[in-house]
A = this chain, B = another copy of it.
Amino acid sequence: MENKVDFFEQLRKLPTSCISDALDMLGINGGCELIRPLTQGMALVGPAFTLQYEQVKEGEKAPAGEFIDEVPAGSVVVIANGGRYCTVWGDLLTIAAKQKGIKGTVIDGCCRDATSIIQMNYPIFTKGTYMKSGKNRVKLVGKQIPVRIGNTIVHPGDVICADDSGVIVIPQEVLPEVVEKALAVEIMEQQIIRDLREGISMKDARERHNYNNFALLLNK
Interface residues of A (CB under 8 A from B): 15-17, 19-21, 24, 29, 31, 33-34, 36, 39-41, 43, 63-64, 66, 68-69, 85, 87, 90-93, 95-96, 99, 112-116, 118, 128-133, 135-136, 163-166, 168, 189, 192-193, 196-197, 199, 201-203, 206, 211-212
Contact = CB atoms under 8 A, between A and B. Distances in A.
Given A41-B115, A69-B201, A85-B33, A19 B164 contact: no
B196 A99 contact: yes
27 contacts: A15-B112, A15-B116, A17-B90, A17-B133, A19-B131, A20-B131, A24-B133, A29-B132, A31-B132, A34-B128, A43-B115, A64-B206, A64-B212, A66-B206, A69-B201, A92-B189, A92-B196, A92-B202, A95-B193, A96-B202, A99-B196, A99-B197, A114-B164, A114-B165, A115-B163, A129-B166, A131-B165
Contacts of A21: 133, 135
Copies of this chain held together in the complex: 3
Contacts of A196: 92, 95-96, 99
Contacts of A40: 39, 118
A131 B166 contact: yes
A68 B202 contact: yes
